[in-house]
Amino acid sequence: MDKLWAPWREKFILCEKELGCFFCRTAGEKKDEENLILLRGKKCFVILNRYPYNNGHLMVAPYRHVGKLENLNEEELFELSKISQLCVKVIKAGLKPQGLNLGMNLGKVSGAGVADHIHLHIVPRWTGDTNFMPILAETKIVSIGLKQTYKQLKRELKKIIK
């Protein structure tokens, strides 16, 4: 069996798993860079996925703990859409993907890791980013570190929202 060396995952593996909703917890803290919160709106915020499918994988979530799309109020729904549009611009400028996937996993059976706090995934895609590794080795390669990606996207965000 081949082994892949991934020492950066040690922190995740060895840390105590916190109870409760991580969206609510991180949004309530004032440690945006540490928590990888890229942007705060009035009703929603953007957080970089700490365990991404691809570099630059963002999640847009309302501050309010709500698990169903139909329970978002108009202000939350509008801001979620506007912030997602801004994130697409930021990712295109900062990471130069050839495409993007946007979507929500509504409910546990749909694949939602956090089913009780709705969030929209924005995943940059590049030609060739789906290769044999996920299929044969059940391994995903993320080429740019989280902190570097965060700083790069933060710089682009500042340029766009001057």
Catalytic residues: 119
- Please choose, from the candidates 25, 32, 62, 65, the residue with its C-alpha nearest in 3D space to the C-alpha of residue 44: 62
The phi and psi torsions of 107 (rounded to 5 degrees) equal 100, 155
Spatial separation of the C-alpha atoms in residues 12 and 124, rounded to whole Å:
23
Concatenate the DSSP letters of all residues of 105-137 into one string.
--SGGGT-SSTTS--EEEEEE-TT-S-HIIIII
